[in-house]
């Protein structure tokens, strides 16, 4: 069965650079979530989309933005990267208010 695909799996960027993370949800899922998980931390909700419209925002820095495209894939853009942005970034998709399925995550390292 198709799962949530995230790319890239690993990314190394320097401070002040920009990074773009991509997420391809499970076909026919109408909801996409983005989470950030620091080392030893719980997943922190960043933002969600329902039917390509932003649904809610969590603790997402102003340097970050996200969007969902007509083909339902989503991208998380991070600018002016800081060392503290190093984390695992997870995307999840679901049918609204149903169980979410997570991708394997993108490990971002800022040096």
Nearest to 66 by CA among 109, 21, 26: 21
Nearest to 29 by CA among 68, 58, 75: 68
DSSP 8-state assignment for residue 25: P
Nearer to other proteins, 80 or 109 (CB): 109
Rg for the chain, CA atoms, rounded: 13
Site of interaction with other proteins (CB under 8 A): 4, 33, 35, 42-45, 48, 50, 54-56, 58, 88, 90, 92, 96-105, 107
Nearer to other proteins, 78 or 100 (CB): 100
The least distance separating other proteins from the CB of residue 33, rounded to whole angstroms, comes to 6
The least distance separating other proteins from the CB of residue 84, rounded to whole angstroms, comes to 18
């Amino acid at each position: 069965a198709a799962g949530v695909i995230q790319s890239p799996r690993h990314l190394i960027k320097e401070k002040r650079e920009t990074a773009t993370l991509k997420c391809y949800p499970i076909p026919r899922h109408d909801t996409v979530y983005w989470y950030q998980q620091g080392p030893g931390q719980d997943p922190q909700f960043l933002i969600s989309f329902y039917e390509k419209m932003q649904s809610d925002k969590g603790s997402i820095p102003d340097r970050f933005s996200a969007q969902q495209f007509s083909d339902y894939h989503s991208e998380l853009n991070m600018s002016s990267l800081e060392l503290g942005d190093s984390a695992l970034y997870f995307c999840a998709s679901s049918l609204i208010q149903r169980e979410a399925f997570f991708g394997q995550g993108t490990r971002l390292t800022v040096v």
